[in-house]
Amino acid sequence: MRSEDTPPLDSPTTYVHLTGGLGNQLFQLAAGMFVAGSGRVALKSTYGVPRQNRHHAPEITSLALEPNIAVDTTADITLRGRLIRKAINGSLRASAQAQSSWLGSCSHASLKLALRAGTSTLSQHQAICSSTLGMDPLLLNAPKGTFLVGYFQTWRLVHDRDVLPRIRSMAHNAHSSQWLDHLRSTAPSESPLVVHVRLGDYKNNPHFGKVSASYYFRAIEELGGVGNLGRIWLFSDEPDAALTMLGPQFSESKPRIISPTRVASSTDTLRAMALGTHFVLCNSTFGWWGATLSTSYCPSVVVPEPWFVQEQSPVDLVAPNWIALPRA
């Protein structure tokens, strides 16, 4: 059966806990598609806190989702629902902090008990709680119909089977704004060198840590140097602060500043980033997806190493053909 065909009605639905920003939501979608194959996937935001778009729906819904992929936003305010949410949050904290031995085991056991203590659609599903931020071997043999809980930040699931072509199609076939259409018409003549600087919540988070200015200059030199590449497209949640951090030498290159606007959705911004031919990324899953969904053939990508300062870096997050440079 081709991936675009509608699966039979009796096909088991693979559920995925949906939470975080668009980058995390895309990784969770990829994990569900990897396990389900051409089967049904339900992204369940009931127990998570997924970032929302202007329509007050999870950002992932801005993509042109396939007919067999649904987003379940059903609320659960019961005691059982609160227990499930608490168990899931404990499991996610354990995977992020590499504390899988005690916190993760307790949370997984609590989740299984809470799921069985009811008659909801999830009560008959096996739950897999990932013990790591990145690649989890448990997914390799996970059956369709499983309830997946985790971040699943790894290139292995995305590049396996037909997951990436399908996500690329869903992203690029989504409704676009005039803002994005203008950048699309501009990109061929500018061959963008995408530089992604995330500040905001990263500035005061010692676990993630913001990437140094020297990293960006070394990364640009690694790719060929300013003037030998296309025009810099600077993506940042705080563009003025990013320009100050990068200094006058960077500003003299006359970068195109691309920052969040009321017009552009997160999906539009991601697709604008995907217009790049070279990428210098920070430690953000949003930028990871921008490079991965690039419309250019075999783009050059530089990422910081380690990914996090005080957290364990996701296993197999960085694709083998990407370049890792020290973040300091």
Winning range, highest mean pLDDT, from 86-100, 114-128, 206-220, 283-297 = 283-297
Domain 177-326: top CATH class: alpha beta
Return the domain boundaries, the chain: 13-165, 177-326
pLDDT per residue as tens digits for the range 73-89? 988 888 777 887 887 87
Annotate 82-131 with DSSP letters as a single string. Answer: HHHHHHHHHHHHHHHHT-IIIIIHHHHHHHHHHHHSS-STTTTS-EEE-S
Mean pLDDT, residues 218-243? 90
Helix and strand element counts for the chain (H, E): 11, 11
- The tokens of 281 are what? 């990324």
Report pLDDT for 82: 83
pLDDT per residue as tens digits for the range 187-219? 999 999 999 998 877 777 666 778 899 999 999
**Cα end-to-end distance, the chain, whole Å:** 49
SS3 of residue 323 by DSSP: strand
pLDDT per residue as tens digits for the range 117-164? 554 566 567 888 888 889 999 899 999 999 999 999 999 999 987 999
For residues 131 and 56, the model is more confident at 56
Whose CA is closest to 16, among 107, 152, 168, 167?
Answer: 152
Share the mean pLDDT of the chain. 86
pLDDT per residue as tens digits for the range 243-262? 999 999 899 999 999 976 66
Q: How confident is the model at residue 305 (pLDDT cuts 50, 70, 90)?
A: very high
Strand-pair partners of 41 = 14, 69
Mean pLDDT, residues 292-304? 94
Strands 256-258 and 278-280 turn out to be unpaired
- What secondary structure letter does DSSP report for 27? H
Burial class (CB in 10 A: 0-12, 13-18, 19+), 178: exposed
